[in-house]
Amino acid sequence: TYWISWSIKNCQRKDLRENIRRDIQAVSPQFLAATIRNMERALIIALAKASAKGISDKDIQKEIPDLRPDQRAVVINKLLVQGYFDLFNQGGTLLYKLKDPALLTDKIKGADNEEKIVYSIIEEAGSKGIWIRDIRYKSNLVPTQLNKILKILENKKLIKAVKSVAASKKKVYMLFNLEPDRSVTGGAWYCDQDFEAEFVDVLNQQCYRYLQQKSENIKDCKGGPIAARNISYASSKDVWKFISELGISKVQLSVEDIETILDTLLYDGKVERSVALDGSYLYRAIESLLAAPGIVRIPCGVCPVLRMCNDVGSVNAKKCVYMKEWLE
């Protein structure tokens, strides 16, 4: 990379150049990549600190020409997510302005290098957090040392451990002041890592009831079949507003949460979905199909050799492969 090449090229003494190469080879690629990313981030923050009006992508490209556009985008996006920058649009040009110069100071003053490295790795993970095995992989620290550092950072209330709904025994680490991402907590459908099945069922019933009421309004429509069909549709935002006004949820639900419930109704064959002119989804209740007779639920009802089946022939229920697979 640019920084490694610069260090080796600008070192005048041959023995020191060899030492640099040897030290770099001894460091894991993951640790080296994280260090370079931190250097790039620090440079961009320094540029923003020096400019009170903010900096643009062109300013960053001019000062750090070796930083590729895709790498620059990754660094900038993470700085925005972590709350370092405010984003402005000035004359069609995006400007990144540093929120608070105090963010440039060391947040863990007095900590040793290992603690700073672990903190920066966790900080980089953002609100999704990072598993301890990934921290160990990136930091190249032994488990006992890493566990000690994590405990110190937790006691200082710099980081916190959060259980992930994806694996109840798996904890991820993130900065203390961050709100965990929905992929970690499970969003509105989980409480203390437990899936709220009853709550989901209630929402499912109420959403379907609202769409049924919309369908019943067709009787009062005198504008023809097309107009009647159109008024039977409801957007996900309409359903969300209805559920919010009911007050049946103790947590704040989003439109995306309601769309998840509507999708379950769609898969159950209770509603159909259509696309509006603006690209949004519209939903309407539909009449469920008649329940299939019980005979077609077993292999005999759809068996291709049913007429050949008897008690004494080669085709019989006792040796039936279809029945065996169905029972299994």
Query: Residue 264: how many CB atoms within 10 A of its CB?
Result: 16
The H or E element containing residue 283 is strand 281-285
178-203: string of b/e by CB count within 10 Å (b at 16+)?
bebbbebbbbbbeeeeeebeebeeeb
Q: Where are the domains of the chain?
A: 2-104, 113-185, 194-285, 295-327
Nearest alpha-carbon partner for 42 in 99, 103, 100? 103
The three-class DSSP label of residue 275 is: strand
* Beta carbons within 8 Å of 325's beta carbon, 6+ residues apart: 299
pLDDT value of residue 25: 53
CATH-assigned architecture of domain 194-285 = Orthogonal Bundle (1.10)
Q: How far is CA 9 from the centre of its chain?
A: 42
Report which DSSP code applies to 317.
S
**Same fold across 2-104 and 194-285:** yes
pLDDT, one tens digit for every residue, the chain (328 residues): 444 454 444 444 455 445 545 555 554 555 555 555 667 777 888 888 888 788 888 888 888 888 888 888 888 887 776 667 777 777 778 888 877 645 444 566 666 778 888 888 888 888 888 888 899 888 888 889 899 989 988 888 888 988 877 776 778 898 887 878 777 777 777 776 677 788 889 999 999 999 988 887 777 766 666 676 777 888 989 999 999 888 887 778 888 888 989 999 988 888 889 888 888 889 988 876 666 667 777 888 888 888 888 888 888 888 888 888 888 7
Q: How far is CA 92 from CA 56, 85, 311, in A?
A: 11, 18, 82
pTM over 0.75? The answer is no
Please give the biggest Cα pair distance in the chain: 96
180-184 contacts, C-beta under 8 A, 24 or more apart: 180/127, 180/128, 180/129, 181/126, 181/127, 181/128, 181/129, 183/128, 184/127, 184/128, 184/129
- 265 with 251: CB under 8 angstroms? no
The three-class DSSP label of residue 282 is: strand
Query: Residue 160: how many CB atoms within 10 A of its CB?
Result: 18
Structure tokens belonging to residue 179:
């709100």
What's the CA gap between 270 and 268, in Å, rounded?
A: 6
What's the CA gap between 259 and 51, in Å, rounded?
A: 44
What's the CA gap between 87 and 97, in Å, rounded?
A: 7
276-300: string of b/e by CB count within 10 Å (b at 16+)?
eeeeeebbbbbeeeeeeeeeeeebe
pLDDT value of residue 283: 92
The CATH number that domain 2-104 falls under is 1.10.10.10
In CATH terms, the fold of domain 113-185 is: Arc Repressor Mutant, subunit A (1.10.10)
